Amino acid sequence: MNTNHKSQKRQLRVLTAIPKLKRAIAEIRARGETIALVPTMGALHEGHLSLVRLAAKRADRVIVSIFVNPTQFAPHEDLNTYPRTFAADQAALEETATDIIWAPSVATMYPEGFATRVVPEGAATVGLEDKFRPHFFAGVATVVAKLLIQCEPDVALFGEKDYQQLKVVTQLARDLSLPTKIVAGPIIREPDGLALSSRNRYLSPPERATAPVLHRVLKECAAAIAAGKPLGSALRHGRETITKTGFALDYLEARDAETLVPVGTSSSGKIRLLVAARIGTTRLIDNVGV
Ligand code: AMP
């Protein structure tokens, strides 16, 4: 890794056109430097910034993409109201080691006549997010494949917050022979346990007060399972608590931590507990390891 640049002042560049991005990447490569990519939809918070810090440790140059990807939203979902806070995002990234913000328009990513989709299987079809958001993973896989091809990173950072997505993207990079190493970052939480999310700003004060129940239940379930309680009764109790608290539960599941297939007993390999639930109009997801 070339460390000369660390003494130079970084200049954060905002790029929106593919030829300019390719030119910037060619300059970086000509200096023999490595590149890390952090894909985001903006509305940046500490979870995103933690990935940027990991990225800076893994490569000489950091690209953060900001793109609210329409193809991963269903028509009834929150594409139009999804928070767009570009000026604040840029200001936050100025304080980090980011070199380039890659902020393409929808027309740049999906020009007139765009007709290709990457449709993942495996971890993308295990009946978790895919069951409740059937559009989601083809949209994610298509945009992530494009971002990885556009930015040519050596490493790309994804949060464990979106655990199923992390598994899908890892498989995608492997299956498409992309030369990028996918690296996971841990979930960053509020002091009360709520996982940071761009969607948390939708929560009313009472909803915000209730939201940490999800993490509390995950932790309690994980502890009970680790202590030998049967999976079925631990999950049943967890589902009851979540529902009684006022959430509409989509799922609380125990899955194999690698393949995300259902686990029958607590004695199989590593287990991940994953939850998705709606409070008011906001849908929250979270997960923990057992
Ligand atoms: P998003 O902007 O929601 O698409 O998220 C962009 C990246 O940030 C994804 O890899 C997410 O998994 C990651 N991320 C979102 N929230 C968190 C969090 N609380 N902790 C760690 N990573 C996160």
| 139 Cβ closer than 6 Å to some ligand 1 atom | no
Q: How far is the CA of 182 from the centre of ligand 1 (A)?
A: 14
| Pocket mutation for ligand 1, best pick of 38, 40, 197 (most atoms within 8 Å of C-beta) | 40
Question: Residue 99 to residues 153, 236, 248: CA-CA distances in angstroms?
Answer: 13, 47, 41
- Nearest residue (by CA) to ligand 1, atom 7, is 40
User: Best mutation site among 161, 164, 169, 196 for ligand 1, i.e. most ligand atoms within 8 A of its Cβ?
Assistant: 161
> To test ligand 1's pocket by mutation, which of 52, 79, 162, 199 has the most ligand atoms within 8 angstroms of CB?
162
Q: How far does residue 91's CA lie from ligand 1's centre (Å)?
A: 18
Residue 198 CA to ligand 1 center (angstroms) comes to: 8
Say yes or no: domain 198-289 is CATH 3.40.190.10.
Answer: no
Domain segments of the chain as ranges: 5-185, 198-289
Does this chain's domain 5-185 share its CATH topology with 198-289?
A: no
Which amino acid residue places its CA nearest to atom 10 of ligand 1?
Answer: 158
pLDDT at 9: 59
Question: What's the pLDDT score for residue 7?
Answer: 44
| Closest atom, ligand 1, to C-alpha of 158 | 10
**CB of 185 closer than 6 A to ligand 1?**
yes
Q: Which active-site residues does the annotation give?
A: 48
Ligand 1 site, residue 163, Cβ cutoff 6 A: no
Question: Ligand 1: does its nearest atom lie under 6 Å from the Cβ of 58?
Answer: no
What pLDDT does residue 1 have?
Answer: 52
| Summary mean pLDDT of the chain | 95
Q: Tell me the one-letter amino acid at 259.
A: T
In angstroms, what is the span from residue 37 Cα to ligand 1's centroid? 13
Predicted pLDDT at 8: 52
Establish whether residue 40 lines the binding site of ligand 1, counting it when its CB lies within 6 angstroms of any ligand atom. yes
Quick one: which atom of ligand 1 is closest to the CA of 41? 2
pLDDT averaged over 10-residue windows placed end to end, the chain, 290 residues? 53 97 98 98 98 98 98 94 96 98 98 98 98 97 98 98 98 98 98 97 97 98 96 97 98 96 74 97 97
Superfamily of domain 5-185: HUPs (3.40.50.620)
CB 126 less than 6 A from any atom of ligand 1? no
| 198 Cβ below 6 A of ligand 1 | yes
